[in-house]
Amino acid sequence: MLTGGTHRAECQQVRDKYLEGALQRLDEGLANLKLKYPNSQKPLIKSGQRGTRWFIEFPITGKNVDAFSLILSTEKIIQNGREKEGSKVTSTDSFLKGEIVSYLIDYEVNSSTG
């Protein structure tokens, strides 16, 4: 029975060890870029879980950014984990509208921590 006052439900954010590892590598890479380009701004990085899928989203802006090499290196990291972690790319998709390009990499990994 509630007797006045406010009650706040607290939720612990669920994180997967593979998501944590990817975010750590992303932070390290961004720190290296910040050293190389001190006037650059850190992108807003969103991550979490949607249904049964983990995600990482961030905008890539700038005319001299090689987004294709970022995509390829991400897919290579996933493929390199095949033997140890059971990871594999299951599908990819892209979307283009004007100057906005979105690229999706779906992958599976043997994870017991999600």
More confident of the two residues 40 and 91: 91
pLDDT band at 105 (very low <50, low <70, confident <90, very high): confident
Asked whether residue 6 is assigned to any structural domain, the reply reads no
- Interatomic CA distance for residues 1 and 38, integer angstroms: 56
Q: What is the DSSP string of 71-114?
A: HHHHHHHHHHTHHHH--EEEEEEEEEETTEEEEEEEEE---S--
Asked whether residue 3 is assigned to any structural domain, the reply reads no
Q: Helix or strand or coil: residue 35? A: helix
Asked whether residue 11 is assigned to any structural domain, the reply reads no
Q: How many domains does the chain have?
A: 1
Domain that holds residue 52: 17-108
Residue 53 has pLDDT above 60, yes or no: yes
- Interatomic CA distance for residues 109 and 81, integer angstroms: 9
Asked whether residue 81 is assigned to any structural domain, the reply reads yes
Asked whether residue 2 is assigned to any structural domain, the reply reads no
pTM of the complete model beyond 0.75: no
Asked whether residue 12 is assigned to any structural domain, the reply reads no
